[in-house]
């Protein structure tokens, strides 16, 4: 489960385009940040994706990927031309192709490597969809199959693209804000669509014709869409975006990705309840709470320069966003993470803090939350001052931010562990996280 949004020029405080996304995956499915430079490829060469191999293009653009460690593609990313893309799992009545094929994350990377505008990226995805379809297991520890929706944006425009099997519809976002979650949102109006979108539904008696066709109503799988709480989460992001419309900032986008819903007061904790799905997703007990936000991204796009803010870690409510510029390069982040605990990696080092906070979320988070917000605000202000700096200067600044964040994480982890939890966690929540820790060989948090 995930959430993705975009705010266009008229909705932001400075006239930029702002994009944001949380990637929700298995709690041990470590997230990796990767920057791949522009490359040329010999004629006739191929590229091996997560499962299949397809012909490679002559040249691929430089891309910044925020990805599950085991997948070739990414959950969200950007390229050197300022194109950004995030995807959502959507559950439809169209049978899933379970044989290895193209998965949603592969579509994103392929589009970023091959397209210099949002519209061109849409064409890349729909072209590949027509040629190869979409299929294959998308789960890390359990098999899960789904179709995909996307927000695709650049400094000039944005598109929502939603698919069901090989059928699809797309809407151009012309103003304001737009968010998607794990449900089809396009109804009876669209700007572009596959040739068979309506006829496929008519042939299956989902509608009588174009006059009563509604993409979401005709194609959506009711049960999975309902239990994903997609409508609720989309309403949360939409409400918060509209509250700030015309004044939205990068800091506001980060706050939205940390949202736990309108019911979350000062004593809110993810340890409560057997169900519950929030924008900042927290895993718990049972099949309904099997996902955790494992990485987050906010991008500020202008024609002149694009700044990308990434956590590179799980649970944005416990972590910190750091700035990256594609032309400057990515700081040295150490070894790539896997699904097994490794304190040498950025993602797992933060898990020491995150999983310790979960032992008494309200009290332990409060010990450093204000300091975290101040450090992040400092990063944002200083990043704006570096927009005209050279690539080398911006890389040095980005490297400094990652280093300061790492030092702060270590400091906060020690502080949090020094505070004795006030009470025992609910048995079902404690059991769930004990199992997650055991699977990853993660030392039981203090």
Q: What residues act catalytically? A: 2
CB atoms within 10 A of CB 344: 9
Please, are residues 344 and 334 in contact by the beta-carbon 8 Å criterion? Answer: yes
Strand intervals (E) in 230-340? 292-301, 306-310, 322-324
User: How far is the C-alpha of 32 from the C-alpha of 23, rounded, in Å?
Assistant: 12
Alpha helices of 295-368 — where are they, by DSSP H?
A: 346-357, 361-366
Q: How far is CA 235 from CA 169, 180, 188, 239, 388, in A?
A: 21, 9, 20, 6, 37
CA dihedral 346, 347, 352, 358 (to 10 degrees): 150
Note whether 18 and 248 are within 8 A (CB).
yes
C-beta neighbour count of 335 within 10 angstroms: 11
Longest dimension (CA), the chain: 65
Q: What does the alpha-carbon distance between residue 353 and residue 313 come to, in Å, rounded to a whole number? A: 11
CA distances from 159 to 56, 153, 156, 244 (A): 25, 6, 11, 21
Q: How far is CA 23 from CA 31, 130, 171, 225, 385, in A?
A: 9, 26, 23, 17, 29
Q: What angle do CA 100, 103, 109 make, to 5 degrees?
A: 130
Tell me which long-range contacts 405-410 makes (C-beta under 8 A, separation of at least 24): 405/320, 405/322, 405/375, 406/346, 406/349, 408/320, 408/368, 408/371, 408/372, 408/375, 409/319, 409/320, 409/349, 409/350, 409/353, 410/349
Q: Is 69 exposed, middle or buried (0-12, 13-18, 19+ CB in 10 A)?
A: middle
Q: Got the DSSP string for 141-166?
A: SS----EEEEEEE-SS-EEEEEEETT
Beta bridge partners of 168: 163
Rounded to an integer, what distance in angstroms lies between the CA atom of residue 293 and that of residue 348? 14
User: Which residues lie closer than 8 Å to 245 by C-beta, 6 or more apart?
Assistant: 7, 11, 176, 177
């Amino acid at each position: 489960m995930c959430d993705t949004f975009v705010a266009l020029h008229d909705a932001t405080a400075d006239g930029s385009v702002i994009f944001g996304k949380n990637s929700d995956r298995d709690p041990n499915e470590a997230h990796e940040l990767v920057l791949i430079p522009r490359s040329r490829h010999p004629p006739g060469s191929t590229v091996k994706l997560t499962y299949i191999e397809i012909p490679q293009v002559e040249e691929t653009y430089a891309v910044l990927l925020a990805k599950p460690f085991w997948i070739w593609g990414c959950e969200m990313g950007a390229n050197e031309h300022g194109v950004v893309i995030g995807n959502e799992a959507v559950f439809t009545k169209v049978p899933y192709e379970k044989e290895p094929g193209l998965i949603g994350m592969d579509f994103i990377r392929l589009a970023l490597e091959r397209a210099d505008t949002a519209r061109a990226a849409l064409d890349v995805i729909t072209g590949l969809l027509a040629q190869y379809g979409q299929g294959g297991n998308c789960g890390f520890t359990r098999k899960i199959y789904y179709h995909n929706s996307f927000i695709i944006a650049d400094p000039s425009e944005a598109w929502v693209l939603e698919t069901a099997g090989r059928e699809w519809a797309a809407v151009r976002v012309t103003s304001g804000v737009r968010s998607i979650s794990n449900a089809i949102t396009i109804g009876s109006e669209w700007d572009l669509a596959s040739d068979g979108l309506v006829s496929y539904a008519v042939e299956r008696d989902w509608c009588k014709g174009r006059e009563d066709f509604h993409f979401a109503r005709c194609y959506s799988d009711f049960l999975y869409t309902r239990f994903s709480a997609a409508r609720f989460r989309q309403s949360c992001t939409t409400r918060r975006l509209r509250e700030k419309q015309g004044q939205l900032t990068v800091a506001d986008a980060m706050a939205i990705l940390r949202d736990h819903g309108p019911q979350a007061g000062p004593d809110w904790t993810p340890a409560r309840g057997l169900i519950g799905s929030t924008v900042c997703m927290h895993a718990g007990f049972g099949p309904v709470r099997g996902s955790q936000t494992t990485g987050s991204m906010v991008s500020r796009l202008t024609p002149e320069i694009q700044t990308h803010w990434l956590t590179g870690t799980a649970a944005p409510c416990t972590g910190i966003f750091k700035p990256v510029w594609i032309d400057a390069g990515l700081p040295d982040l150490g070894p790539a993470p896997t699904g097994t605990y490794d304190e040498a990696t950025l993602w797992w080092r933060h898990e020491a803090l995150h999983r310790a906070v979960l032992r008494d979320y309200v009290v332990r988070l409060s010990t450093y939350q204000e300091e975290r917000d101040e450090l992040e605000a400092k990063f944002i202000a200083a990043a704006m001052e570096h927009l005209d700096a050279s690539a080398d200067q911006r890389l040095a600044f980005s490297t400094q931010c990652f280093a300061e964040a790492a030092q702060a994480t270590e400091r906060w982890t020690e502080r949090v562990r020094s505070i004795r939890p006030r009470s025992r966690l609910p048995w079902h929540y404690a059991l769930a996280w004990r199992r997650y820790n055991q699977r990853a060989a993660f030392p039981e948090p203090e």
